[in-house]
Structure 1
Amino acid sequence: MKQKVIIKILGTGLMFLLLSNLHAQHMKIPYKEIPQYPENYGPGNVVARMIDGLGYRFYWATEGLTDTDLAFKPSAEGRSILETMEHIHTMSHNILLAPDAQPYVIGAETPTYSFEELRTRTLENLDAASKKFSGASAEEMENFKVIFQRGDQQSEFALWNLLNGQLSDCLYHTGQIVLMRRASGNPQNPNVNPFIGKTKE
Protein backbone atom coordinates (compact mmCIF):
# COMPACT_ATOMS: atom_id res chain seq x y z
CA MET A 1 0.00 0.00 0.00
CA LYS A 2 2.78 2.42 0.93
CA GLN A 3 4.59 1.61 -2.32
CA LYS A 4 1.46 2.47 -4.33
CA VAL A 5 1.15 5.78 -2.51
CA ILE A 6 4.83 6.57 -3.09
CA ILE A 7 4.56 5.66 -6.79
CA LYS A 8 1.44 7.80 -7.10
CA ILE A 9 3.16 10.76 -5.45
CA LEU A 10 6.24 10.35 -7.65
CA GLY A 11 4.07 10.08 -10.74
CA THR A 12 2.14 13.21 -9.83
CA GLY A 13 5.38 15.09 -9.11
CA LEU A 14 6.91 13.99 -12.42
CA MET A 15 3.79 15.04 -14.32
CA PHE A 16 3.87 18.43 -12.58
CA LEU A 17 7.53 18.91 -13.54
CA LEU A 18 6.86 17.96 -17.17
CA LEU A 19 3.89 20.32 -17.41
CA SER A 20 5.88 23.11 -15.76
CA ASN A 21 8.72 22.57 -18.22
CA LEU A 22 6.33 22.63 -21.18
CA HIS A 23 4.70 25.78 -19.82
CA ALA A 24 8.10 27.44 -19.38
CA GLN A 25 9.09 26.53 -22.95
CA HIS A 26 5.78 27.90 -24.22
CA MET A 27 6.32 31.17 -22.38
CA LYS A 28 9.75 31.58 -23.97
CA ILE A 29 8.38 31.56 -27.50
CA PRO A 30 8.44 35.15 -28.82
CA TYR A 31 5.51 37.16 -30.11
CA LYS A 32 2.70 36.21 -27.76
CA GLU A 33 2.34 39.98 -27.94
CA ILE A 34 4.04 42.66 -30.03
CA PRO A 35 7.00 44.29 -28.24
CA GLN A 36 6.94 47.94 -27.25
CA TYR A 37 7.33 50.13 -30.30
CA PRO A 38 10.66 51.91 -31.01
CA GLU A 39 11.41 55.50 -30.05
CA ASN A 40 11.64 56.73 -33.64
CA TYR A 41 10.60 55.94 -37.19
CA GLY A 42 14.09 55.17 -38.48
CA PRO A 43 14.13 52.83 -41.51
CA GLY A 44 15.48 49.84 -39.60
CA ASN A 45 12.87 50.30 -36.89
CA VAL A 46 10.05 50.44 -39.44
CA VAL A 47 11.11 47.12 -40.99
CA ALA A 48 11.62 45.59 -37.53
CA ARG A 49 8.09 46.64 -36.61
CA MET A 50 6.71 44.98 -39.73
CA ILE A 51 8.51 41.78 -38.76
CA ASP A 52 7.11 42.06 -35.23
CA GLY A 53 3.60 42.41 -36.65
CA LEU A 54 4.17 39.27 -38.71
CA GLY A 55 5.50 37.42 -35.67
CA TYR A 56 2.42 38.27 -33.61
CA ARG A 57 0.08 37.22 -36.40
CA PHE A 58 1.96 33.95 -36.99
CA TYR A 59 2.07 33.16 -33.26
CA TRP A 60 -1.71 33.30 -32.94
CA ALA A 61 -2.47 31.84 -36.37
CA THR A 62 -0.60 28.70 -35.30
CA GLU A 63 -1.55 28.63 -31.61
CA GLY A 64 -3.55 25.54 -30.63
CA LEU A 65 -3.48 23.79 -34.00
CA THR A 66 -4.37 20.09 -33.92
CA ASP A 67 -3.09 17.25 -36.09
CA THR A 68 -6.36 17.46 -38.02
CA ASP A 69 -5.78 21.18 -38.66
CA LEU A 70 -2.18 20.63 -39.76
CA ALA A 71 -3.26 18.08 -42.35
CA PHE A 72 -6.10 20.26 -43.66
CA LYS A 73 -5.81 21.59 -47.20
CA PRO A 74 -8.41 23.52 -49.19
CA SER A 75 -8.00 21.30 -52.24
CA ALA A 76 -6.07 18.25 -53.37
CA GLU A 77 -3.54 20.47 -55.15
CA GLY A 78 -3.20 23.04 -52.38
CA ARG A 79 -0.75 23.19 -49.48
CA SER A 80 -1.81 21.86 -46.10
CA ILE A 81 -1.49 24.10 -43.04
CA LEU A 82 1.71 22.28 -42.06
CA GLU A 83 3.17 22.69 -45.56
CA THR A 84 2.26 26.38 -45.46
CA MET A 85 4.08 26.68 -42.13
CA GLU A 86 7.14 25.01 -43.66
CA HIS A 87 7.06 27.55 -46.50
CA ILE A 88 6.85 30.44 -44.03
CA HIS A 89 9.73 28.95 -42.03
CA THR A 90 11.92 28.93 -45.14
CA MET A 91 11.12 32.57 -45.81
CA SER A 92 11.73 33.51 -42.16
CA HIS A 93 15.22 32.12 -42.67
CA ASN A 94 15.64 34.32 -45.76
CA ILE A 95 14.57 37.36 -43.71
CA LEU A 96 17.07 36.50 -40.98
CA LEU A 97 19.96 36.13 -43.44
CA ALA A 98 19.40 39.45 -45.25
CA PRO A 99 20.89 41.88 -42.67
CA ASP A 100 24.16 39.94 -42.75
CA ALA A 101 24.02 39.53 -46.55
CA GLN A 102 24.36 35.78 -46.09
CA PRO A 103 23.16 33.45 -48.87
CA TYR A 104 20.23 31.10 -48.61
CA VAL A 105 21.44 27.82 -50.11
CA ILE A 106 18.82 26.38 -52.44
CA GLY A 107 18.67 22.60 -52.52
CA ALA A 108 20.49 22.14 -49.23
CA GLU A 109 19.15 19.26 -47.17
CA THR A 110 16.77 20.58 -44.54
CA PRO A 111 15.68 18.63 -41.45
CA THR A 112 12.07 17.71 -40.85
CA TYR A 113 10.70 19.46 -37.79
CA SER A 114 7.73 18.65 -35.62
CA PHE A 115 4.93 21.20 -35.54
CA GLU A 116 6.15 22.71 -32.26
CA GLU A 117 9.77 22.87 -33.47
CA LEU A 118 8.70 24.44 -36.78
CA ARG A 119 6.56 27.03 -35.03
CA THR A 120 9.21 27.90 -32.45
CA ARG A 121 12.04 28.12 -34.99
CA THR A 122 10.00 30.38 -37.26
CA LEU A 123 9.13 32.75 -34.42
CA GLU A 124 12.73 32.76 -33.19
CA ASN A 125 13.97 33.57 -36.72
CA LEU A 126 11.58 36.50 -36.92
CA ASP A 127 12.54 37.75 -33.47
CA ALA A 128 16.26 37.55 -34.29
CA ALA A 129 15.69 39.28 -37.65
CA SER A 130 13.75 42.09 -36.01
CA LYS A 131 16.63 42.70 -33.62
CA LYS A 132 19.09 42.84 -36.55
CA PHE A 133 16.96 45.47 -38.32
CA SER A 134 16.23 47.47 -35.19
CA GLY A 135 18.04 50.81 -35.17
CA ALA A 136 19.66 50.28 -38.59
CA SER A 137 20.20 53.42 -40.66
CA ALA A 138 19.38 53.81 -44.34
CA GLU A 139 23.11 53.68 -45.13
CA GLU A 140 23.54 50.44 -43.20
CA MET A 141 20.53 48.90 -44.89
CA GLU A 142 22.09 49.52 -48.30
CA ASN A 143 24.36 46.59 -47.37
CA PHE A 144 21.49 44.28 -46.45
CA LYS A 145 21.04 41.84 -49.33
CA VAL A 146 18.84 38.93 -50.35
CA ILE A 147 21.18 36.30 -51.75
CA PHE A 148 20.29 32.90 -53.17
CA GLN A 149 22.95 30.31 -53.83
CA ARG A 150 22.56 27.25 -56.01
CA GLY A 151 25.81 25.32 -56.30
CA ASP A 152 28.50 27.85 -57.25
CA GLN A 153 25.99 30.37 -58.61
CA GLN A 154 24.73 33.29 -56.54
CA SER A 155 21.85 35.67 -57.26
CA GLU A 156 21.85 38.93 -55.30
CA PHE A 157 18.90 41.26 -54.75
CA ALA A 158 18.39 44.54 -52.93
CA LEU A 159 16.55 44.65 -49.62
CA TRP A 160 13.55 46.12 -51.45
CA ASN A 161 12.88 42.66 -52.85
CA LEU A 162 12.65 41.26 -49.33
CA LEU A 163 9.92 43.76 -48.44
CA ASN A 164 7.65 43.00 -51.39
CA GLY A 165 8.85 39.40 -51.50
CA GLN A 166 9.40 37.25 -48.43
CA LEU A 167 8.08 39.64 -45.81
CA SER A 168 4.83 40.36 -47.65
CA ASP A 169 4.54 36.71 -48.67
CA CYS A 170 4.79 35.55 -45.05
CA LEU A 171 1.92 37.87 -44.09
CA TYR A 172 -0.11 36.55 -47.01
CA HIS A 173 0.43 32.90 -46.07
CA THR A 174 -0.19 33.54 -42.38
CA GLY A 175 -3.61 34.85 -43.41
CA GLN A 176 -4.14 31.62 -45.34
CA ILE A 177 -3.48 29.62 -42.15
CA VAL A 178 -6.10 31.69 -40.31
CA LEU A 179 -8.60 30.98 -43.09
CA MET A 180 -7.76 27.28 -43.36
CA ARG A 181 -7.95 26.61 -39.63
CA ARG A 182 -11.42 28.18 -39.61
CA ALA A 183 -12.44 25.87 -42.45
CA SER A 184 -10.96 22.99 -40.45
CA GLY A 185 -13.28 23.81 -37.55
CA ASN A 186 -10.72 25.37 -35.21
CA PRO A 187 -10.84 29.16 -35.69
CA GLN A 188 -8.17 31.48 -34.34
CA ASN A 189 -8.65 33.03 -30.91
CA PRO A 190 -11.20 35.84 -31.51
CA ASN A 191 -9.38 38.09 -29.03
CA VAL A 192 -6.30 38.46 -31.25
CA ASN A 193 -5.76 42.18 -31.89
CA PRO A 194 -2.93 42.97 -34.35
CA PHE A 195 -3.69 46.71 -34.10
CA ILE A 196 -2.98 46.80 -30.34
CA GLY A 197 -0.56 43.88 -30.47
CA LYS A 198 -2.06 42.07 -27.49
CA THR A 199 -4.57 39.28 -27.05
CA LYS A 200 -7.16 39.58 -24.34
CA GLU A 201 -6.92 36.66 -21.90
Structure 2
Amino acid sequence: MQTKAQEMELPYKEIPDYPSTYTSGNVVSRMIDGLGFRYYWATEGLTENDLTYRASEDGRSVFETMEHIYVMSNNILLAPDAKPYERPANPQKFSYEELRSLTLNNLKTASEKVLGKTSEEMEDFKVVFKQGDRTSEFPFWNMINGMLADCIHHTGQIVLMRRASGNPQNPNVNVFLGKTRE
Protein backbone atom coordinates (compact mmCIF):
# COMPACT_ATOMS: atom_id res chain seq x y z
CA MET A 1 0.00 0.00 0.00
CA GLN A 2 1.06 3.59 -0.61
CA THR A 3 1.91 5.96 2.18
CA LYS A 4 -0.07 9.17 2.50
CA ALA A 5 2.91 11.13 1.10
CA GLN A 6 3.08 8.91 -2.00
CA GLU A 7 -0.68 9.13 -2.48
CA MET A 8 -0.58 12.93 -2.35
CA GLU A 9 2.00 12.97 -5.13
CA LEU A 10 -0.32 11.18 -7.54
CA PRO A 11 -2.31 13.36 -9.90
CA TYR A 12 -6.09 13.47 -9.97
CA LYS A 13 -7.03 13.30 -6.31
CA GLU A 14 -9.09 16.28 -7.46
CA ILE A 15 -9.86 17.26 -11.01
CA PRO A 16 -7.84 20.32 -12.09
CA ASP A 17 -9.56 23.64 -12.67
CA TYR A 18 -11.14 23.79 -16.09
CA PRO A 19 -9.64 25.92 -18.85
CA SER A 20 -11.10 29.34 -19.54
CA THR A 21 -11.93 28.58 -23.19
CA TYR A 22 -13.48 25.75 -25.16
CA THR A 23 -10.80 24.80 -27.65
CA SER A 24 -10.46 21.35 -29.18
CA GLY A 25 -7.41 20.58 -27.06
CA ASN A 26 -9.00 21.89 -23.89
CA VAL A 27 -12.07 19.71 -24.33
CA VAL A 28 -9.97 16.58 -24.88
CA SER A 29 -7.71 17.55 -21.97
CA ARG A 30 -10.76 17.83 -19.73
CA MET A 31 -11.99 14.40 -20.90
CA ILE A 32 -8.62 12.93 -19.93
CA ASP A 33 -8.72 14.76 -16.59
CA GLY A 34 -12.20 13.37 -15.93
CA LEU A 35 -10.92 9.87 -16.64
CA GLY A 36 -7.91 10.47 -14.38
CA PHE A 37 -10.13 11.60 -11.50
CA ARG A 38 -12.44 8.61 -11.89
CA TYR A 39 -9.51 6.20 -12.18
CA TYR A 40 -7.77 7.70 -9.13
CA TRP A 41 -10.78 7.02 -6.92
CA ALA A 42 -11.77 3.72 -8.54
CA THR A 43 -8.31 2.35 -7.77
CA GLU A 44 -7.65 4.08 -4.43
CA GLY A 45 -7.29 1.72 -1.49
CA LEU A 46 -7.75 -1.56 -3.34
CA THR A 47 -6.97 -4.69 -1.34
CA GLU A 48 -5.50 -7.97 -2.56
CA ASN A 49 -9.04 -9.38 -2.46
CA ASP A 50 -10.23 -6.55 -4.73
CA LEU A 51 -7.30 -6.92 -7.13
CA THR A 52 -7.96 -10.63 -7.69
CA TYR A 53 -11.75 -10.28 -7.89
CA ARG A 54 -13.33 -11.15 -11.22
CA ALA A 55 -17.03 -10.99 -12.01
CA SER A 56 -16.93 -14.28 -13.94
CA GLU A 57 -14.48 -17.10 -14.55
CA ASP A 58 -13.55 -15.87 -18.00
CA GLY A 59 -13.59 -12.15 -17.16
CA ARG A 60 -10.64 -9.97 -16.28
CA SER A 61 -9.74 -9.45 -12.64
CA VAL A 62 -9.57 -5.91 -11.27
CA PHE A 63 -5.77 -6.02 -11.59
CA GLU A 64 -5.95 -7.29 -15.18
CA THR A 65 -8.42 -4.48 -15.94
CA MET A 66 -5.92 -2.00 -14.50
CA GLU A 67 -3.22 -3.49 -16.74
CA HIS A 68 -5.52 -3.07 -19.75
CA ILE A 69 -6.19 0.58 -18.86
CA TYR A 70 -2.46 1.14 -18.45
CA VAL A 71 -1.78 -0.13 -21.97
CA MET A 72 -4.42 2.22 -23.35
CA SER A 73 -2.99 5.10 -21.30
CA ASN A 74 0.25 4.59 -23.25
CA ASN A 75 -1.70 5.01 -26.50
CA ILE A 76 -3.36 8.15 -25.15
CA LEU A 77 0.06 9.52 -24.17
CA LEU A 78 1.71 8.79 -27.53
CA ALA A 79 -1.06 10.02 -29.87
CA PRO A 80 -0.39 13.78 -29.57
CA ASP A 81 3.16 13.11 -30.80
CA ALA A 82 1.93 10.62 -33.45
CA LYS A 83 4.33 8.05 -31.99
CA PRO A 84 3.62 4.35 -32.36
CA TYR A 85 2.63 2.07 -29.54
CA GLU A 86 4.28 -1.30 -29.83
CA ARG A 87 3.11 -3.93 -27.41
CA PRO A 88 6.21 -5.52 -25.90
CA ALA A 89 6.76 -9.24 -26.47
CA ASN A 90 7.38 -9.67 -22.73
CA PRO A 91 5.43 -6.92 -20.97
CA GLN A 92 6.94 -5.71 -17.74
CA LYS A 93 5.05 -6.73 -14.62
CA PHE A 94 4.15 -3.95 -12.22
CA SER A 95 2.84 -3.90 -8.68
CA TYR A 96 -0.57 -2.40 -7.98
CA GLU A 97 1.06 0.81 -6.72
CA GLU A 98 3.37 1.09 -9.75
CA LEU A 99 0.57 0.37 -12.22
CA ARG A 100 -1.70 2.93 -10.62
CA SER A 101 1.03 5.59 -10.54
CA LEU A 102 2.18 4.94 -14.13
CA THR A 103 -1.38 5.12 -15.45
CA LEU A 104 -2.28 8.31 -13.59
CA ASN A 105 0.96 10.00 -14.65
CA ASN A 106 0.46 8.92 -18.29
CA LEU A 107 -2.99 10.51 -18.22
CA LYS A 108 -1.71 13.72 -16.60
CA THR A 109 1.09 14.08 -19.16
CA ALA A 110 -1.29 13.33 -22.05
CA SER A 111 -3.73 15.95 -20.75
CA GLU A 112 -0.94 18.52 -20.60
CA LYS A 113 0.13 17.66 -24.17
CA VAL A 114 -3.31 18.43 -25.61
CA LEU A 115 -4.20 21.38 -23.37
CA GLY A 116 -4.60 24.55 -25.42
CA LYS A 117 -4.17 22.84 -28.79
CA THR A 118 -6.19 24.10 -31.73
CA SER A 119 -8.22 21.98 -34.12
CA GLU A 120 -5.53 22.48 -36.73
CA GLU A 121 -2.78 21.28 -34.38
CA MET A 122 -4.86 18.25 -33.41
CA GLU A 123 -5.06 17.15 -37.02
CA ASP A 124 -1.43 16.04 -36.61
CA PHE A 125 -2.30 13.80 -33.66
CA LYS A 126 -2.41 10.14 -34.68
CA VAL A 127 -3.10 6.80 -33.08
CA VAL A 128 -0.30 4.59 -34.34
CA PHE A 129 0.12 0.87 -33.69
CA LYS A 130 3.24 -1.05 -34.59
CA GLN A 131 3.54 -4.82 -34.78
CA GLY A 132 6.86 -5.94 -36.17
CA ASP A 133 7.23 -4.34 -39.60
CA ARG A 134 3.52 -3.47 -39.82
CA THR A 135 2.28 -0.02 -38.79
CA SER A 136 -1.36 1.11 -38.65
CA GLU A 137 -2.25 4.77 -38.35
CA PHE A 138 -5.61 6.30 -37.39
CA PRO A 139 -6.85 9.87 -36.87
CA PHE A 140 -7.16 11.16 -33.31
CA TRP A 141 -10.95 10.82 -33.61
CA ASN A 142 -10.45 7.10 -33.02
CA MET A 143 -8.75 7.90 -29.70
CA ILE A 144 -11.92 9.57 -28.43
CA ASN A 145 -14.35 6.76 -29.25
CA GLY A 146 -11.65 4.12 -28.74
CA MET A 147 -9.17 4.34 -25.88
CA LEU A 148 -10.69 7.25 -23.97
CA ALA A 149 -14.20 5.80 -23.98
CA ASP A 150 -12.87 2.31 -23.27
CA CYS A 151 -10.80 3.51 -20.29
CA ILE A 152 -13.86 5.26 -18.82
CA HIS A 153 -15.89 2.08 -19.35
CA HIS A 154 -13.28 -0.14 -17.66
CA THR A 155 -12.83 2.31 -14.80
CA GLY A 156 -16.56 1.92 -14.15
CA GLN A 157 -16.08 -1.85 -14.14
CA ILE A 158 -13.43 -1.48 -11.42
CA VAL A 159 -15.89 0.56 -9.34
CA LEU A 160 -18.51 -2.16 -9.76
CA MET A 161 -16.13 -5.05 -9.05
CA ARG A 162 -14.65 -3.45 -5.94
CA ARG A 163 -18.19 -2.94 -4.64
CA ALA A 164 -18.97 -6.59 -5.36
CA SER A 165 -15.79 -7.69 -3.57
CA GLY A 166 -16.85 -5.79 -0.44
CA ASN A 167 -14.74 -2.62 -0.69
CA PRO A 168 -16.85 0.10 -2.34
CA GLN A 169 -15.33 3.30 -3.67
CA ASN A 170 -15.25 6.24 -1.29
CA PRO A 171 -18.88 7.45 -1.18
CA ASN A 172 -17.72 11.08 -0.88
CA VAL A 173 -16.35 11.12 -4.45
CA ASN A 174 -18.34 13.55 -6.59
CA VAL A 175 -17.45 12.99 -10.26
CA PHE A 176 -19.70 15.87 -11.35
CA LEU A 177 -17.75 18.42 -9.29
CA GLY A 178 -14.44 16.55 -9.52
CA LYS A 179 -13.95 16.78 -5.77
CA THR A 180 -14.25 14.53 -2.76
CA ARG A 181 -16.08 15.62 0.36
CA GLU A 182 -13.81 15.21 3.40
Residue 107 of structure 1 contacts residue 150 of structure 1 at CA under 8 Å; is this kept in 2?
no
The correspondence of residues 3-22 of structure 1 with structure 2, limited to 5 A, is 22=3
Matched, 1:182 2:126: no
Q: Aligned letter for 1:47?
A: V
C-alpha distance in structure 2 between counterparts of 1:96 and 1:53, whole Å: 15
- 1:63 pairs, out of 11, 34, 44, with 44
Structure 1 portions without partners, runs of 5+: 1-20
**Structure 1 vs Structure 2: percent identity of aligned residues?**
64
Q: Is residue 197 from structure 1 mapped to residue 147 from structure 2 by the alignment?
A: no
1:112 to 77, 87, 93: 93
Q: Which residue is equivalent to 1:127?
A: 108
Secondary structure of the residue that 1:130 maps to in structure 2? Answer: helix
Once superposed, what is the RMSD of the aligned Cα atoms? 1.3
CA distance in 2, matches of 1:26, 1:168: 26
Q: State the Cα distance separating 1:23 from its structure 2 match.
A: 2.4
Give the conservation status (yes or no) of the 8 Å contact 1:45–1:134: yes
| TM-score normalised by length of structure 1 | 0.88
What amino acid is the match of 1:111?
Q
Q: 1:107 Cα shift? A: 4.0
Aligned residues: 182
Give the distance between the partners of 1:86 and 1:49, measured in 2 at CA. 23
1:88 to 69, 76, 83: 69
CA distance in 1, matches of 2:89, 2:128: 14
* Aligned residue in 1 for 2:126: 145
Deviant stretches of 4+, over 6 Å = none
Distance in 1 of aligned mates of 2:120 and 2:153: 29
> How far does the alpha carbon of each residue in 1:21-75 deviate from its partner, in whole angstroms, 9 at most, with x for none?
9322211100000000001000000000000000000000001100000000011
Counterparts of 1:63 and 1:25 in 2: how far apart (Å)? 12
Give the number of the structure whose residues are more often helix, by fraction: 1
The C-alpha deviation readout for 1:112-171, integer Å capped at 9, x for no partner, is 000000000000000000000100000100000000000011000000000000000000
Where 2:56 maps in the other structure, the secondary structure is coil
Larger Rg, first or second structure (1 or 2): 1
2:11 is the alignment partner of 1:30: yes
Structure 1 CA distance for aligned equivalents of residues 149 and 64 of structure 2: 18
